[in-house]
């Protein structure tokens, strides 16, 4: 990939801003001269680069055990290596907000493995499965950001886990924390018949250059990226998105979007109106991250995502700063990409451009085990493939399947709990980690999601519409509450006997990746639209039946 020169300011956060720093009571922006940490999170990052904690884990904590871990490392810097303490079993959601962090956590960790672009080789899949069975009590959830997420990890085992992951080119570097997270990519990059440019080289180059680079390891908050020719990732919900577009004069390239993010105060990414050729994607990406690092708000954590800066500046100013201060050149104007009528999840059997097939299969709410993944690896190999992809909808694909072996693979996957012809309910339901392991959770999600799917499959077996149901264990929206047909936000609600019980606030009618003319947007949150968790299956069934009775022809 061509590497163009990057201005010093984009590489060195300590380089002076092109504009004279102005000191004003503001949002803690470095570029305006605010270098003193304004809150505890900023202090932890300034005191020691979080990437440095890896050496302490390997040299001190792995030998001294959980009790030897410095609290600032434990609840702060560990995240930069994909590690969060997990929730102690048996603490109900009503106590989430009142207990101190150390009272909520046990001595085990959640560990996220980044799978940039969602791309896994057979060797990588086998290593992931082995680690799950040896060190993670057989857990290996597929997250809605194409990561693998383990639970029950002990700090003592981290050096061996890293050794095994890195022996096959996998890493946990910056899988969490205020830094560039996993880069989402199309699960069918490089094989889709309608893809004009495979963006994988740009994803690889960004990871190679910038992940683990201390020039980008202290951002105001997390930074989410997606790069895809097809509209098959939730691009509007990312801090930066590159979407494929064919420029009438310059040919295939990428359309740039910035400032998307859900959680509190959700905002959809906005088009900058520029066309970026593949070779320039890494530099433009670094420029946008540089803006976020230098101008992003650091005073209040709940105002620290890039979306607030984009919202305050507007697109014109954002583009101007990117071009003048970070790239040193103007970008070409570009056309808007064509957007499909609905998000593409790749479930089922589909032809590749080389004449072979890919098979998209659904676990239930992203929950898979190491044992399942080991069987998947055997099935993949037995059917002549050595490539698997994870999707941002908690599903997986097997690539490169010869046509004559495809039905056999579909049957084999079914036998290990991965369904290539799932019901609409199984296909469309996602769930975040929830109260089983997440310290912020208020309600259970994975088991509720599995129960919900089973119940709806039994009661509404022939439901024939596409539907998305996203269960979230708290208002944080990790499973994208606001953009589902039925978004469920975990909270305590009043139960039948007047006491508080687990439940959900319901958002209806959200959507992403919608065609022009239909607006992508957030589900309507109506006052009083709530259900207890126990009543959720009946509630969704009623909604579905009402929808079926009232839908117009062709809907
Ligand atoms: Fe945890 Fe809440 Fe995110 Fe679910 S939405 S994983 S409960 S923080």
Nearest CA to ligand 1 atom 3: 478
Cα angle at 387 between 385 and 390, to 5 degrees? Answer: 135
ipTM of predicted complex: 0.99
Residue among 445, 472, 477, 505 to mutate when testing ligand 1 (max atoms within 8 A of CB): 472
User: Mapping DSSP to helix (H, G, I), strand (E, B) and coil, where does residue 491 land?
Assistant: strand
> Distance, CA 437 to ligand 1 centroid (Å)?
9
Q: Exposed, middle or buried: residue 144 (CB in 10 Å: 0-12, 13-18, 19+)?
A: buried
Question: What is the DSSP-derived secondary structure letter of residue 469?
Answer: E
pLDDT by 10-residue block (mean), the chain, 555 residues: 42 47 71 91 97 98 98 97 96 92 94 98 98 98 97 98 98 98 98 97 98 98 97 95 97 98 90 98 98 97 96 97 98 94 91 98 98 98 98 98 98 98 96 96 97 96 90 92 90 93 89 45 67 95 88 72
Cα angle at 425 between 420 and 428, to 5 degrees? Answer: 75
Residue among 105, 222, 432 to mutate when testing ligand 1 (max atoms within 8 A of CB): 432
Q: 361 Cβ partners below 8 Å, 6+ apart? A: 347, 395, 396, 397, 398, 413, 418, 419, 420, 422
Atom of ligand 1 lying closest to residue 439 CA: 1
Atom of ligand 1 lying closest to residue 473 CA: 7
> Distance, CA 477 to ligand 1 centroid (Å)?
7
Q: Which residue has the tokens 């970070």?
A: 326
Q: In what order do the strands lie in the sheet with 270-276?
A: 180-185, 223-228, 240-247, 251-258, 270-276, 332-333
Residue among 104, 474, 489, 502 to mutate when testing ligand 1 (max atoms within 8 A of CB): 474
Report whether 141 contacts 367 (CB < 8 A). yes
Determine the pLDDT at residue 25. 61
Report whether 183 contacts 227 (CB < 8 A). yes
Report whether 296 contacts 309 (CB < 8 A). yes
Atom of ligand 1 lying closest to residue 474 CA: 2
* Range list of β-strands (E), 178-326: 180-185, 223-228, 240-247, 251-258, 270-276
Report whether 258 contacts 270 (CB < 8 A). yes
Nearest CA to ligand 1 atom 2: 474
The number of residues in the chain equals 555
Question: What is the DSSP-derived secondary structure letter of residue 301?
Answer: G
Tell me the two tokens of residue 434.
């929830």
> Distance, CA 519 to ligand 1 centroid (Å)?
27
> Distance, CA 479 to ligand 1 centroid (Å)?
8
> Distance, CA 473 to ligand 1 centroid (Å)?
5
Report whether 141 contacts 369 (CB < 8 A). no
Cα angle at 126 between 183 and 111, to 5 degrees? Answer: 50
Atom of ligand 1 lying closest to residue 434 CA: 7
Report whether 504 contacts 471 (CB < 8 A). yes
Atom of ligand 1 lying closest to residue 443 CA: 7
Atom of ligand 1 lying closest to residue 441 CA: 7
> Distance, CA 297 to ligand 1 centroid (Å)?
23
> Distance, CA 86 to ligand 1 centroid (Å)?
12
> Distance, CA 25 to ligand 1 centroid (Å)?
33
> Distance, CA 113 to ligand 1 centroid (Å)?
18
> Distance, CA 370 to ligand 1 centroid (Å)?
23
Residue among 91, 147, 365, 476 to mutate when testing ligand 1 (max atoms within 8 A of CB): 476
* Ligand 1-lining residues (CB < 6 angstroms): 432-434, 438, 440-441, 472-474, 476-478
Tell me the two tokens of residue 419.
């369904």
> Distance, CA 478 to ligand 1 centroid (Å)?
6
> Distance, CA 433 to ligand 1 centroid (Å)?
6
Q: Exposed, middle or buried: residue 475 (CB in 10 Å: 0-12, 13-18, 19+)?
A: middle
> Distance, CA 441 to ligand 1 centroid (Å)?
5
Atom of ligand 1 lying closest to residue 442 CA: 7
**C-alpha span between 63 and 56 (Å, rounded):** 10
Atom of ligand 1 lying closest to residue 479 CA: 5
Q: Exposed, middle or buried: residue 159 (CB in 10 Å: 0-12, 13-18, 19+)?
A: middle
Residue ranges of the alpha helices (H) in 61-157?
Answer: 62-64, 71-75, 101-104, 122-135
Atom of ligand 1 lying closest to residue 438 CA: 1
Instruction: With CA atoms as reference, report the closest residue to 150 among 207, 82, 48, 58.
Output: 82
Atom of ligand 1 lying closest to residue 481 CA: 5
> Distance, CA 104 to ligand 1 centroid (Å)?
14
């Amino acid at each position: 990939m061509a590497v163009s020169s990057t201005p010093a300011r984009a590489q060195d956060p300590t380089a002076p801003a092109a504009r004279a720093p102005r000191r004003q009571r503001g949002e803690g922006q470095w570029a305006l001269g605010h270098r003193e940490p304004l809150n505890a999170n900023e202090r932890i990052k300034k005191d020691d680069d979080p990437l440095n904690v890896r050496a302490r884990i390997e040299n001190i904590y792995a030998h001294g055990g959980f009790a030897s871990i410095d609290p600032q490392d434990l609840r702060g810097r560990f995240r930069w290596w994909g590690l969060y303490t997990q929730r102690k079993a048996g603490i109900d959601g009503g106590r989430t907000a009142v207990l101190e962090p150390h009272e909520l956590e046990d001595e085990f960790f959640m560990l996220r493995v980044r799978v940039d672009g969602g791309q896994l080789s057979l060797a990588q899949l086998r290593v992931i499965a082995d680690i799950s069975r040896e060190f993670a009590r057989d857990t290996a959830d597929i997250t809605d950001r194409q990561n693998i997420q383990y639970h029950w990890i002990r700090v003592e085992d981290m050096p061996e886990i890293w050794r095994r992951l890195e022996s096959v080119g996998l890493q946990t570097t910056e899988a969490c924390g205020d830094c560039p997270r996993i880069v989402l990519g199309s699960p069918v990059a490089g094989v889709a018949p309608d893809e004009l440019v495979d963006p994988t080289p740009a994803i690889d180059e960004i990871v190679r250059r910038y992940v683990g680079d201390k020039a980008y390891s202290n951002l105001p908050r997390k930074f989410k990226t997606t790069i895809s020719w097809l509209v098959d990732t939730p691009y509007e919900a990312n801090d930066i998105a590159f979407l494929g577009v064919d420029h009438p004069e310059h040919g295939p390239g990428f359309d740039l979007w910035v400032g998307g993010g859900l959680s509190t105060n959700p905002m959809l990414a906005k088009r900058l109106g520029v066309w970026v050729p593949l070779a320039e994607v890494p530099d433009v990406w670094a420029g946008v991250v540089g803006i976020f690092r230098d101008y992003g708000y650091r005073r209040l954590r709940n105002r620290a995502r890039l979306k607030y800066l984009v919202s305050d500046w507007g697109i014109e100013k954002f583009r101007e700063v990117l071009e003048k201060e970070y790239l040193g050149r103007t970008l070409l104007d570009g056309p808007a990409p064509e957007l499909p009528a609905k998000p593409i999840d790749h479930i089922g059997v589909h032809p590749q451009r080389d004449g072979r097939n890919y098979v998209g299969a659904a676990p239930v709410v992203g929950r898979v085990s190491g044992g399942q993944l080991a069987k998947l690896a055997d099935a993949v190999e037995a059917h002549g493939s050595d490539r698997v992809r994870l999707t941002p909808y908690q599903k997986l694909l097997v690539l490169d399947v010869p046509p004559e072996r495809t039905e056999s693979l579909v049957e084999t996957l079914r036998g290990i709990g991965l369904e290539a012809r799932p019901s609409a309910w199984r296909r469309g339901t996602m769930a975040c980690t929830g109260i089983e392991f997440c310290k912020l959770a208020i309600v259970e999600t994975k088991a509720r999601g599995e129960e919900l799917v089973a119940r709806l499959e039994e009661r509404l077996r022939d439901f024939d519409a596409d539907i998305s149901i996203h269960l979230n264990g708290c208002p944080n929206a990790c499973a994208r509450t606001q953009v589902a047909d039925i978004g469920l936000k975990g909270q305590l609600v009043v139960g039948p006997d007047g006491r508080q019980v687990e439940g959900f606030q319901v958002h209806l009618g959200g959507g992403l990746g919608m065609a022009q003319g239909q607006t992508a947007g957030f589900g309507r949150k109506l006052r009083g639209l709530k259900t207890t968790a126990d009543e959720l299956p009946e509630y969704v069934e009623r909604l579905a039946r009402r929808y079926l009775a009232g839908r117009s022809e062709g809907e």
